Chain A
Amino acid sequence: MTCDDAGVDMTAQPNLHPGAGPVRAPRGALRRPERGRWFAGVASGVAAHLGLPLPAVRVAFVVLTALGGVGVVLYAFWWLTVPVGDPWGAAAAARPSALSRIASRPTDAERPSRRWPVTDIAVGVLLVAVAGLLVALREDQLDAGWVLPVLVVLAGAALAWSQLDEVARGRLRSRAGGRTPSSVVRLLGGVVLAGVGVLLLVGQATGPGVDAATFAQSVVASIAVLAGVAVVVAPWWLRLWRALADERAARARESERADIAAHLHDSVLQTLALIRARADDPAEVARMARAQERELREWLYDDRPAPGTSLAAQLRDVVAEVEDSRSGPGGEPVAVEAVVVGDRVPDEATAALLQATREALVNAVVHGRPPVSLYLEVGSDEVEVFVKDRGDGFDVDAIGPDRFGVRESIMGRVRRRGGTAKVTSRPGQGTEVHLSMPFVAIPQVAVEQVAPEQDPSVAPQPAPGTVEEER
């Protein structure tokens, strides 16, 4: 399983992108989506894969077609080689399972995917047309005597099928796509084509004299035979091939199951045992339940970023640590409602900001009153944090500079890094701490810390530009 580069690159998660603080936009895998397609879904698949606007890709195909038909050739090539599927789903499947969410994604039931095998039908119609043409060309030679051999061949094919016992037939049928109308039509069409081809070929070989035109006809006829056989056999070949892939996937699922079992054992089971042991201590039980709930929710419903690439993930860790280790004034656990908008690769400045945020959170939890709210916003040129509680509040100015622990641990930390810190508190309305940290002024030390192997002369990029890139 590709755990690094390629695997992570296609995901919806933050990438380590040195110098570019904001998270890079995700890309889909190269698949032809069922939805939103006009023809075979090549354009929409390419657009999703390259992150380009769909109309631009469609225009590009048209323009390329005007240039000597390159567009049509490309389109046909991708049509044949790119499998049908959901680009984002395929990209997510490429994620290492340890980092993906467990719960299934909501599917869009509004627009059911197309069920008609258009490609098959088009190929089939083409082949039948060719066969019809060949027969028509030799119409003068056709008489009632031809009908009999055709029937004999068809009956023979049917007999061959009936020779298979019921079980084998069922298995073959299921491999060919089950007893669906399209698979039956495909089978019949293939058999008819093969039969017609054989008859034409035989009729030709035994016919009087051989000239160029009839030779060409027999070549075409034999191609029709091969095509007919291919139409009959291809689905089984594909099924066989997919069965192999499925087997591999099953093995991967098996190891995933082992992962899940190990995780459940390490977390949920242990917590439940602890809760039972501490059932007489409601505060402790509530805290453990809360911690477990948080962990399980993250595990089930979120894709986890690679470590060290996401400020949002670091903030969640800080929140978890505070929730687990601190209690309100009455010893009760306090839940923090954390909301994060945007994300970026952490650096030294955001580390200081996180430290200050942690101190503000601890203050809010220990001295304030729930609900405690935390809001972090990664803007175009700064990161802002708001920590709000519903305590009694206090008069900020009335607190002497010597006594105010908040002053050094929160405000000092942020200001030393070029940020600003403001505490707003009105008696009876709680306290709100507002921290903001610009990231234009970050020296390249920060970048080196993220990616030590980068050449310092190319690594730093101005943040506003990278924001444009992200959007």
Chain B
Amino acid sequence: MTQQVPAVPAVDVVLVDDHHLFRTGVRASLDDRVHVVGEAASVDEAVRVVRTLAPPVVLLDVHLPGGDGGGGAEVIRACADLTGTRFLALSVSDAAEDVVAVIRAGARGYVTKAIDGPALSDAVRRVADGDAVFSPRLAGFVLDAFGAAAGDVATGDDELDRLSAREREVMRLIARGYTYREVAAELFISIKTVETHVSAVLRKLQLSSRHELTRWAAARRLL
């Protein structure tokens, strides 16, 4: 996989995590499709570094010291005007309130810290290309938050507050552990279509003010 890259230039990435050991580990595990151009260990440092370098992708820990205690979400909000920079959240916690807080703040995806190097590099590339990165767990949070498990689905395309039947199907397959490729094969659609659905779901998750979502989030104190 690493041999076929010369055609595509490496993606510049800023790595934000308060553990030096972890940053070193991630730096070592990323393959040469990704180039780490900067690191930061706190909210304030992260905002400074990201604003200076304006990298296409920022790998961002959810739990960060400093700032007003908002962690990764605070960094994303502080850099909201950098249109060329996308954020990929990294979290060790897996708790809904931590993950959904950064997603609602504007992160393009979320992966756990247990992810291996090639998969992380893939995720970074995907985010750099403007796609969303959904782990099974994030798909689970989405289904939970939108109440999609109860079969409440949108009928129109532009309904922000509910998932369409297709989006729900895609989310369920991702939650079941299917890769985008497998989802595409299972539903007889192209990978590009899967990515379109996933991006649409991400948009809904970020913008929806659906009553159930609000309550679900409030119960976990996300809003």
Interface mask (B161-192 → A, CB under 8 Å = 1, otherwise 0): 00000000000100111100000000000000
A464's nearest neighbour on chain B, judged by CB, is B150
Chain B residues closer than 8 Å to A297, beta-carbon distance:
92-94
Determine whether the beta carbon of A112 is less than 8 Å from that of B68: yes
Determine whether the beta carbon of A109 is less than 8 Å from that of B149: no
User: Considering the chains assembled together, what is the distance between the CA atoms of A103 and B65 in angstroms?
Assistant: 12
State whether the Cβ of B95 lies closer than 8 Å to any Cβ in chain A: yes
Chain A residues closer than 8 Å to B68, beta-carbon distance:
107, 109, 112
**Per a CB cutoff under 8 Å, which of A12, A86, A92, A341 touches B140?**
A341
B215's nearest neighbour on chain A, judged by CB, is A25
- CB proximity of B123 to chain A, nearest CB, Å: 15
Determine whether the beta carbon of B94 is less than 8 Å from that of A301: yes
State whether the Cβ of B37 lies closer than 8 Å to any Cβ in chain A: no
User: Considering the chains assembled together, what is the distance between the CA atoms of A335 and B93 in angstroms?
Assistant: 16
User: Considering the chains assembled together, what is the distance between the CA atoms of A106 and B102 in angstroms?
Assistant: 9
State whether the Cβ of B70 lies closer than 8 Å to any Cβ in chain A: yes
Chain A residues closer than 8 Å to B221, beta-carbon distance:
86, 88-89, 92, 105
Determine whether the beta carbon of B143 is less than 8 Å from that of A106: no
Determine whether the beta carbon of A471 is less than 8 Å from that of B175: no
A371's nearest neighbour on chain B, judged by CB, is B177
User: Considering the chains assembled together, what is the distance between the CA atoms of A373 and B218 in angstroms?
Assistant: 29
A471-B147 contact in complex given A108-B70, A337-B136, A377-B172, C-beta closer than 8 Å: yes
- CB proximity of A422 to chain B, nearest CB, Å: 13
Q: Give the number of residues in A that approach B within 8 Å (Cβ atoms).
A: 45
Q: Which residues 6-55 in A have Cβ within 8 Å of B in the complex?
A: 12, 25-26, 28, 48, 51, 53
State whether the Cβ of B62 lies closer than 8 Å to any Cβ in chain A: yes
State whether the Cβ of B67 lies closer than 8 Å to any Cβ in chain A: yes
State whether the Cβ of A281 lies closer than 8 Å to any Cβ in chain B: no
**Per a CB cutoff under 8 Å, which of A51, A88, A301, A339 touches B137?**
A339
Among B70, B77, B101, B150, residue most surrounded by chain A Cβ atoms (within 10 Å): B150
Chain B residues closer than 8 Å to A341, beta-carbon distance:
140, 143-144, 149, 175
State whether the Cβ of B212 lies closer than 8 Å to any Cβ in chain A: yes
Q: Give the number of residues in B that approach A within 8 Å (Cβ atoms).
A: 42
Chain B residues closer than 8 Å to A106, beta-carbon distance:
62-63, 69-71, 73, 97-98, 101
User: Considering the chains assembled together, what is the distance between the CA atoms of A377 and B174 in angstroms?
Assistant: 13
User: Considering the chains assembled together, what is the distance between the CA atoms of A89 and B187 in angstroms?
Assistant: 43
Determine whether the beta carbon of A471 is less than 8 Å from that of B212: yes
User: Considering the chains assembled together, what is the distance between the CA atoms of A467 and B152 in angstroms?
Assistant: 12
State whether the Cβ of B20 lies closer than 8 Å to any Cβ in chain A: no
**Per a CB cutoff under 8 Å, which of A88, A302, A342 touches B149?**
A342
Interface mask (B130-170 → A, CB under 8 Å = 1, otherwise 0): 00000011011001100101110000000000000000000
Interface mask (A93-105 → B, CB under 8 Å = 1, otherwise 0): 0000000010111
Determine whether the beta carbon of B67 is less than 8 Å from that of A109: yes
- CB proximity of B215 to chain A, nearest CB, Å: 7
Q: Which residues 203-222 in B have Cβ within 8 Å of A in the complex?
A: 211-212, 215, 218-221
A340-B101 contact in complex given A107-B68, A107-B69, A301-B94, C-beta closer than 8 Å: no
Determine whether the beta carbon of B136 is less than 8 Å from that of A339: yes
A377-B73 contact in complex given A105-B97, A339-B136, C-beta closer than 8 Å: no
Determine whether the beta carbon of B219 is less than 8 Å from that of A53: no
User: Considering the chains assembled together, what is the distance between the CA atoms of A379 and B151 in angstroms?
Assistant: 8
B112's nearest neighbour on chain A, judged by CB, is A337
- CB proximity of A114 to chain B, nearest CB, Å: 15
Chain B residues closer than 8 Å to A337, beta-carbon distance:
136-137, 177
- CB proximity of A290 to chain B, nearest CB, Å: 9
User: Considering the chains assembled together, what is the distance between the CA atoms of A373 and B178 in angstroms?
Assistant: 9
State whether the Cβ of B10 lies closer than 8 Å to any Cβ in chain A: no
State whether the Cβ of A161 lies closer than 8 Å to any Cβ in chain B: no
Determine whether the beta carbon of A388 is less than 8 Å from that of B176: yes
B145's nearest neighbour on chain A, judged by CB, is A341
B95's nearest neighbour on chain A, judged by CB, is A301
Determine whether the beta carbon of A375 is less than 8 Å from that of B92: no
**Per a CB cutoff under 8 Å, which of A12, A103, A104 touches B220?**
A12
**Per a CB cutoff under 8 Å, which of A88, A101, A109, A112 touches B95?**
A101
A109-B136 contact in complex given A101-B95, A377-B143, C-beta closer than 8 Å: no
State whether the Cβ of B223 lies closer than 8 Å to any Cβ in chain A: yes
State whether the Cβ of A386 lies closer than 8 Å to any Cβ in chain B: yes
Determine whether the beta carbon of B150 is less than 8 Å from that of A26: no
State whether the Cβ of B39 lies closer than 8 Å to any Cβ in chain A: no
User: Considering the chains assembled together, what is the distance between the CA atoms of A88 and B143 in angstroms?
Assistant: 23
State whether the Cβ of B195 lies closer than 8 Å to any Cβ in chain A: no
Determine whether the beta carbon of A109 is less than 8 Å from that of B143: no
Q: Which residues 333-382 in A have Cβ within 8 Å of B in the complex?
A: 335, 337, 339-342, 371-375, 377-380
Determine whether the beta carbon of B150 is less than 8 Å from that of A379: yes
A302-B150 contact in complex given A12-B219, A88-B221, C-beta closer than 8 Å: no
State whether the Cβ of A300 lies closer than 8 Å to any Cβ in chain B: yes
State whether the Cβ of A432 lies closer than 8 Å to any Cβ in chain B: yes
User: Considering the chains assembled together, what is the distance between the CA atoms of A112 and B63 in angstroms?
Assistant: 19
Interface mask (A78-95 → B, CB under 8 Å = 1, otherwise 0): 000000001011001000
User: Considering the chains assembled together, what is the distance between the CA atoms of A432 and B186 in angstroms?
Assistant: 13
**Per a CB cutoff under 8 Å, which of B63, B150, B220, B223 touches A471?**
B150
State whether the Cβ of B12 lies closer than 8 Å to any Cβ in chain A: no
State whether the Cβ of B74 lies closer than 8 Å to any Cβ in chain A: yes
**Per a CB cutoff under 8 Å, which of B98, B114, B177 touches A301?**
B98
User: Considering the chains assembled together, what is the distance between the CA atoms of A340 and B95 in angstroms?
Assistant: 12
Among A105, A371, A379, residue most surrounded by chain B Cβ atoms (within 10 Å): A105
What would be 21 A-B contacts, judged by CB atoms less than 8 Å apart?
Answer: A26-B219, A105-B97, A106-B98, A107-B68, A107-B69, A109-B67, A110-B70, A110-B105, A297-B93, A335-B114, A337-B137, A340-B140, A341-B149, A373-B176, A377-B143, A380-B149, A380-B150, A386-B176, A386-B177, A388-B178, A471-B212
List of 8 A-B pairs having minimum Cβ-Cβ separation, nearest first: A373-B177, A109-B70, A339-B140, A109-B68, A301-B95, A301-B93, A88-B221, A109-B74
Known: A103-B93, A432-B176. 11 other contacts (CB 8 A): A106-B70, A108-B73, A108-B223, A109-B67, A109-B74, A335-B114, A341-B149, A341-B175, A375-B136, A375-B140, A375-B175
